[in-house]
Every structure is written in C-alpha cells, then in structure tokens.
Amino acid sequence: MRIDIVTIFPEFFGVLDISLLGKARQQKLLDVTVHDLRDFTHDRHRTVDDTPYGGGAGMVMKPEPWGEALDRILGDPLPGTVVVVPSPAGRPFTQAEARELALAPALVFTCGRYEGIDQRVIDHAATRPNVEVREVSLGDYVLNGGEVAAMAMIEAIGRLVPGVVGNPESLTEESHEDGLLEYPSYTKPSVWRDLEVPPILLGGNHGAIAAWRHEQQLERTRRVRPDLLPDGLS
C-alpha cells in the first residue's frame, strides 16, 4: 500500500521510521512519503494560510498550495485511491473503516492546520477520477491540526495490511474487531502483590477459557461501552 501525507510539519511523521510501521516500510509492505505543503508555495514567505472569507477568528489554509500538492500526488491515481481528510467535522473513524482502508491501493492524508483547509480543496479532490474523498474524525474533541489524527489512523490501518503484523490471529481478538471490547490479559507471575491470575487461565481447558474470555468481553462491554452491545445483549 502507498501512503502519502501532506503537512506543514513533515518532521512530525519521523516516528513512522521506527517500530512496526518502520519494519513494514523496510519490507516494502508500506510505501510512505511525507510531503511538506510549503514546497508547493511560490512566495518568499512560503505562505499557506490567509484570513477567512466572512470573518471569524483564526486563519484558513489557502487552496493553491493544496491544489498543486494533490496534482503532484494524484497525477495518475491508482483506481480506489482514497484521500483521507482528518477533520473535527468528519465521520467518526472506526475499526471497520480501518479494515476497509487497509484494502485500498493508495491513501493520501491531508493534514490541515489553523482553522482548516479551504473547502474547495476537498470539493475539487472529489472530482478527480479514481479518487474517493473521506472526511474522518478521530473523536469528539478538537485537536490543533490533522497530524495526530492521521498518525493514529495510519497506525490503525497499517497494522491491518497483510504481512505487517506477524501473527494475524492476534488481530482478531482485539477490542472492536468483533464488536466487543477485549478480555483482560495476564502473564507471569501467577501471583503479583497478592493479586492472582484467574485460576481458569492456569488450567488447560481451552473451551472453558474461550467461554470465560467471551463472558469477560460481554461484561466489560456492558460496563464501559453498552452502546457497542448487539441488540438483546444489553
């Protein structure tokens, strides 16, 4: 999968060179390119923002640099390319969307700053052939820009790309993967500060362990996220 990121803070994504995603890049499972939006400006001050039409606080990101950046990146897009626009006004980003986007041939993350990107950039991107645009929100709170959201989304998506995670089975027993929160996990020692590992996990009855873990998922989901429970299980 090809991932392009456009930002005025390219150094923010240096962390993608380490850990799991760094290894995936070395293995050519992920091809990540970070673009500095200011490289697509032509004035001495490399200006990327201006005052909002209609007034209001703050600044808005100018359309011209974004247009040139997306022209460069989306010159000949692979069919199925998705432009992901992190935005507080976007649709909530979910594990289901991460799974969907992990199947795309190419993703372009447009990381805005200030009060956001001129809307015409998003509207024009949606007219490009072979390109789908998704405005997506990390959660119901306001960040200072799209970089943190893009990083979180790239990690959630990247780890689902086949081959990135060594043991694919571990991806199926996670919170939200089956619609429920995950069961609690334990490791050695069996007693720590007088706290014992649930005895059922110390036996070898895999059927009973699986049943216990599912019950733990239901109990935790009822307690913490009843909104996730399927009808009839609340």
Ligand X SMILES: N#Cc1c(-c2ccc3ccn(Cc4ccc(CN5CCCC5)cc4)c3c2)n[nH]c1N
Dist CA 224 CA 232 (whole Å)? 17
Classify the C-alpha dihedral 215-220-223-224 as positive or negative: negative
**CA angle at 199 for the pair 198 and 202, rounded to the nearest 5°:** 110
Which x/- pattern, by CB under 6 A, does the window 41-80 give for ligand X?
----------------------------------------
The residue among 77 and 145 lying less far from ligand X, judged by its C-beta, is 145
Own/partner pairs for 40-47, CB < 8 Å, 24+ apart? 40/64, 40/65, 40/66, 40/68, 40/69, 40/72, 41/65
133 lies in the site for ligand X, by CB under 6 A:
no
- Annotated binding-site residues for S-adenosyl-L-methionine read 112, 138-143
Structure tokens at 171: 């991806």
143 lies in the site for ligand X, by CB under 6 A:
yes
144 lies in the site for ligand X, by CB under 6 A:
yes
87 lies in the site for ligand X, by CB under 6 A:
yes
Determine which residue in the list 137, 156, 158, 164 makes contact with ligand X, applying CB under 6 A.
137
Q: How far is the CB of 49 from ligand X (least distance, A)?
A: 11
Determine which residue in the list 83, 86, 107, 133 makes contact with ligand X, applying CB under 6 A.
86
Determine which residue in the list 6, 83, 138, 161 makes contact with ligand X, applying CB under 6 A.
138
| CB half-sphere exposure, 146, CA atoms < 13 A | 27
The residue among 91 and 214 lying less far from ligand X, judged by its C-beta, is 91
131-137, strands of its sheet edge to edge: 31-36, 2-7, 106-110, 81-92, 131-137
**Interface residues toward ligand X, by CB under 6 A:** 86-88, 90, 112-113, 115-116, 137-139, 141-146, 149
